[in-house]
């Protein structure tokens, strides 16, 4: 079954040298291109409302990334960090003939956008990061400089995903009987809880189309002697975001330096200095036993890490703008669309 889309959204399969993409479009074909990258366990359909409301003269382009939505399922080599995804995006824009474009990334897509800017800064008019992955990856670091808690980066990678959620995702669970069903996870964590969206059924359908397994989401893992007992493997999405392989701090030194907009929901519990998906924070509040304490494994300061890299970007001659949207969680573009759009549109026009 093909995913239904909002009126005004067009879709196309685009073949590139790396993989076949399912891509959504909105706006005039000759408009200034804005490329949207979605987050983990979602797809381009999350961007549809934002795509349809871009100012006149802009063209919205949103691909399903590898292993998500209706794009081709290919393994993720986690030892390359997010470069598999960045290289995919580059193959897509090259195939489409996009010389330059605005780039917008949410969550994991924000990390991919940073990696793309490191690899191809000259192609970007502007960079917008929406509740982005920390430049030092997800899990296992303890200060604004991204210092690892353990040498093996225990507490990050493929073993950090809840196994019952993974099982239900793989089974295509569209119900709401379990707290670990994709629908209940969407309501509890993707936005400020309870997050109830008019297109909830479509968003859930998008989630359950995620490729699940050791090669994709969440990836493989290794047993560790260090708390909390699991360390990154070498395959799959969550390992690609582990700080063992993912370090995007080189963003501060890219040249040329496109202007950067950083937007985040004030109530985000996913990418946060107190993330409910971070073992350091969960251990500190007693939800994971055996926590070795603040000095060894504190909560990862994800927001502080992003701010530190962007301050370095600014000190090196770049410009960045930080916007916090109150009363919004991890997806402010879906929760408070009018506020989000006002900020994004003003930025794009400038």
pLDDT above 70 covers a percentage of the chain that reads 100
| Cα Rg, the chain, nearest whole Å | 19
DSSP for 167-211, please give it: HHHHTT----SSTTSHHHHIIIIISSSS---TTHHHHHHHHHTS-
323 domain-assigned? yes
Cis ω for the linkage preceding 218 (within 30 of 0): yes
pLDDT given at position 292:
98
The pLDDT score that the predictor gives to residue 278 is 98
Question: Mind listing the pLDDT tens digit for each residue in 294-324?
Answer: 999 999 999 999 999 999 999 999 999 999 9
Whether the CB-CB separation of 239 and 214 falls below 8 Å is answered with: no
Q: Which tokens go with 39?
A: 């987050």
Q: Mean of the per-residue pLDDT values for the chain?
A: 98
Reported as type and span, the H/E element at residue 37 is strand 32-37
- 14 strand-pairing partners: 21
The number of beta carbons lying within 10 Å of the beta carbon of residue 199 is: 16
Strand 10-15 with 20-26, pairing: antiparallel
For residue 280, what are the domain limits? 10-148+238-349
* Tokens 């793989």 -> residue: 170
Tell me what the mean pLDDT of segment 275-285 comes to.
Answer: 98
Work out the pLDDT band at 1, boundaries 50, 70, 90. low
322 inside domain: yes
Q: What per-residue confidence (pLDDT) applies to 3?
A: 86
Query: What CATH code is carried by the domain that includes residue 58?
Result: 3.40.50.1820
For every residue of 101-149, DSSP letters joined together read EEEEEETHHHHHHHHHHHHHGGGEEEEEEESPPPTT-SSSB-STT--BS
125 close to 101: Cβ distance less than 8 angstroms: yes
- What was the pLDDT predicted at 229? 98
Whether residue 239 has pLDDT greater than 70: yes
d(C-alpha 277, C-alpha 237), whole Å: 15
Amino acid 2: pLDDT: 79
Share of the chain above pLDDT 90, in %: 99
Is 212 among the domain residues?
Answer: no
In a domain, 289, yes or no: yes
Model confidence pLDDT, tens digit, residues 99-146: 999 999 999 999 999 999 999 999 999 999 999 999 999 999 999 999
Quote the CA–CA distance of 271 and 258 in Å, as a whole number. 24
Which pair of structure tokens corresponds to residue 192?
């400020």
89 has pLDDT over 70: yes
Q: Is the pLDDT of residue 93 over 90?
A: yes
pLDDT tops 80 at residue 5: yes
Note whether residue 230 is domain-resident.
no
Contact between residue 262 and residue 321 where contact means Cβ atoms under 8 Å apart = yes
Residue 117 lies in a domain: yes
Predicted TM-score (pTM) of this structure: 0.98
- Quote the number of domains for the chain: 1
Q: Tell the burial category of 109 from Cβ atoms under 10 Å away from its Cβ (0-12, 13-18, 19+).
A: buried
Would 176 be classed as within a structural domain? no
Domain for residue 187, yes or no? no
pLDDT at 268: 98
pLDDT tens profile 145-197: 999 999 999 999 999 999 999 999 999 999 999 999 999 999 999 999 999 99
């Amino acid at each position: 079954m093909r995913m239904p889309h909002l009126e005004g959204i067009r879709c196309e399969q685009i073949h590139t040298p790396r993989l076949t993409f399912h891509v959504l479009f909105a706006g005039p074909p000759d408009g200034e291109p804005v490329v949207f990258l979605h987050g983990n366990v979602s797809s381009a359909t999350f961007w549809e409302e934002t795509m349809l409301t871009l100012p006149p003269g802009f063209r919205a382009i949103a691909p399903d990334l590898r292993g998500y939505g209706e794009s081709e399922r290919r393994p993720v080599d986690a030892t390359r960090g997010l470069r598999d995804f960045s290289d995919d995006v580059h193959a897509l824009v090259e195939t489409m003939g996009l010389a330059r474009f605005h780039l917008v990334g949410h969550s994991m897509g924000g990390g991919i956008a940073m990696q793309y800017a490191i690899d191809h800064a000259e192609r970007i008019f502007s960079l917008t990061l929406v509740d982005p992955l920390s430049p030092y990856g997800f899990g296992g670091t303890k200060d604004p400089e991204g210092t690892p808690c353990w040498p093996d980066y225990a507490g990050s990678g493929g073993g950090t995903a809840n196994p019952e959620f993974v099982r239900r995702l793989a089974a295509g669970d569209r119900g709401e009987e379990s707290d670990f069903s994709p629908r209940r996870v969407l309501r509890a964590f993707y936005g400020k809880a309870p997050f109830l969206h008019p297109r909830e059924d479509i968003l859930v359908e998008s989630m359950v189309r995620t490729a699940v397994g050791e090669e994709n989401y969440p990836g493989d893992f290794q047993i560790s002697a260090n708390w909390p007992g699991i360390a990154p493997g070498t395959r799959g999405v969550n390992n690609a975001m582990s700080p063992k392989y993912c370090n995007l701090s080189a963003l501060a030194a890219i040249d040329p330096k496109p202007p950067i907009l950083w937007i985040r929901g004030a109530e985000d519990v996913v990418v946060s200095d107190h993330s409910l998906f971070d073992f350091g924070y969960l251990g500190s509040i007693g939800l994971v036993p055996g926590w070795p304490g603040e000095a060894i494994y504190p909560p990862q300061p994800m927001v502080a890490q992003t701010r530190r890299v962007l301050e370095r970007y600014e000190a090196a001659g770049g410009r960045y703008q930080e916007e916090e949207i109150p009363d919004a969680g991890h997806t402010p573009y879906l929760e408070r669309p009018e506020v989000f759009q006002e900020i994004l549109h003003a930025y794009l026009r400038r």
